[in-house]
Structure 1
Amino acid sequence: MIIGPYINGAAVLFGAIGGAMLAKRMPERLRSAMPLTFGAASMAMSVILINKAAHMPVMVLSGILGALVGEMIYLEKGIGKLGNFARNGVEKILPAPKTGITQEEFLEKFVAIIVLFCASGTGIFGSMHEGMTGDSSVLIAKSFLDFFTAAIFATTLGYAVATIAVPQLAIQLALAFGAVLILPLTTPAMQADFSAVGGLLMLATGFRICGIKVFPVANMLPALLFAMPISALWVRVFG
């Protein structure tokens, strides 16, 4: 029975709602300090995932091609529009806390947490792992981090953060139920390279959340689609 995606989705949903409700009581020092911790955690997790790469050139090439495709189709801009649409729709019913955040700052942070929640290597691997083995421990562990991350970001971004639970749940369920078909076609090297590309995205996300460098993380998402095919081709050509 698949339960991990539901637990993870619920963690984001209730974390965001709780954070938005407690926004006025949340000390400013927590709002500014905790995202730095989340960003550092994302970067630390990325190092572990990248270190698992079976073929480093595969990760580099996938990242480059993915970023090229994302930039050409204006992927981040499209996700930003969806984020703005979600914000406007939710705030008609539940007004966001008045924190003085600008539209540009909202979209910047919103896109970053979409990637963190929906496209992290941990979430993708955890979903596929549960689909094959029934072990939900990876997604349950991720849920603890997502709960507090959603709560902190909701204190500034409002209830719109809760809407991320919908695409996150859909993606994780699709991966979990599709794992039975996908994983038998893969090799350990392909899975390792896939995780490494996910780690690359998480590293860029960590830099963005910490405010060190605003990487166009959403435009890098297509790299995940290139990872396994390029890994398989690399083994076939170079052995």
Structure 2
Amino acid sequence: MLIGPYANGLAVVVGGLVGAFLGNKLPERVRVALPLTFGLSSICLGITLIIKVKYMPAVVLAVVCGALIGEICYVEKGIGRLAGSMRTIIDKVFPPQEGLSHEEFIEKFVAILVLFCASGTGIFGAMQEGMTGDPSILYIKTILDLFTALIFATSLGYAVATIAVPQLIIQLCLAMLAIFILPLTNAEMMADFSAVGGIIMLATGFRICGIKMFPIANMLPALLLIMPISHVWASLF
């Protein structure tokens, strides 16, 4: 039974509601410091996954090819455009908080929609739980998302809590897809899959900390490429 996606969705709802209730009562220094901690946590988790690698050349090849495909197909831009299509509905149901213009509200909401629903951590975590039954990655994302939603909701209001719906749908679909992939994998392929996920999480941490704005969504195709590349690499070398 899948647990991680539901726990993650609940965290976004709770964080969004609490943050909207608190509003500007949360000190500015807390809003700045916590995201840096989130980024550091993502970096540390990424490192622990990367060291599980079996065939590093295959992992590097998958990441490079995946990023190339993502850039050519404008994956991140497409996700942002899809999120932007929700603008009119969001504005009617959840008007911007005081102090934010309509444009500022929309831009921030679209950004966090992509962050919650298309993050490397969430996609990798959902697929890992589907294939191994281990929800630990999504549990970590649950903790991070609880506070991230809380912080964003202090300025964006209750609209942040609605992000739990598309996030839950995406994670459940990925986890169910991974269940069908599991019989075709082996331990080495899973290790390399974890390593690719670790690299994406490392890049996510750098982005959250503001160190380097990696196009995370454009790197996601690497998760689809790594298993066949790892299998071929093991067979040839």
TM-score range, shorter chain: 0.7 to 0.9
Q: Which residue is 1:151 aligned to?
A: 150
1:60 Cα offset (Å): 1.0
Change (3 A) 1:27 1:225: same
TM-score by length of 1: 0.84
CA distance in 1, matches of 2:114, 2:141: 19
Q: Which residue is 1:114 aligned to?
A: 117
Change (3 A) 1:105 1:3: closer
CA distance in 2, matches of 1:118, 1:82: 20
CA distance in 2, matches of 1:176, 1:113: 16
1:94 Cα offset (Å): 1.4
Query: How many matched pairs?
Result: 234
The answer to whether 1:18 aligns with 2:21 is no
TM-score by length of 2: 0.85
Moved more, 174-183 or 69-78: 174-183
1:195 Cα offset (Å): 1.1
Runs of 4+ in 1 over 4 A off after TM superposition: 99-110, 135-138, 156-160
TM alignment of 1:32-111, pairs within 5 A: 32-97=32-97, 98=99, 101=104, 107=110, 110-111=113-114
1:209 Cα offset (Å): 0.9
1:196 is matched by which residue type in structure 2?
A
CA distance in 1, matches of 2:151, 2:59: 32
1:110 Cα offset (Å): 4.7
The answer to whether the 8 Å contact 1:80/1:111 transfers is: yes
1:63 is matched by which residue type in structure 2?
V
**CA shift digits 1:68-107 (9 cap, x unpaired):** 1111111111111122233442232112333575866665
Q: Which residue is 1:212 aligned to?
A: 211
1:169 Cα offset (Å): 1.7
Question: Tell me, which stretches of 5 or more residues in structure 1 are unaligned?
Answer: none
1:179 Cα offset (Å): 4.2
Moved more, 174-183 or 101-110: 101-110
1:8 Cα offset (Å): 1.8
Moved more, 13-22 or 135-144: 135-144
SS, match of residue 214 in structure 1: coil
CA distance in 1, matches of 2:64, 2:184: 25
SS, match of residue 213 in structure 2: coil
CA distance in 2, matches of 1:39, 1:213: 11
The answer to whether the 8 Å contact 1:119/1:221 transfers is: no
1:9 is matched by which residue type in structure 2?
G
Question: Tell me, which stretches of 5 or more residues in structure 2 are unaligned?
Answer: none
Percent identical among aligned pairs is 53
The answer to whether 1:170 aligns with 2:191 is no
Q: Which residue is 1:4 aligned to?
A: 4
2:182 is matched by which residue type in structure 1?
L
SS, match of residue 54 in structure 1: coil
Change (3 A) 1:59 1:14: same
Q: Which residue is 2:128 aligned to?
A: 125
**CA shift digits 1:138-179 (9 cap, x unpaired):** 544542232122222333455454344233322332344344
Change (3 A) 1:108 1:12: closer
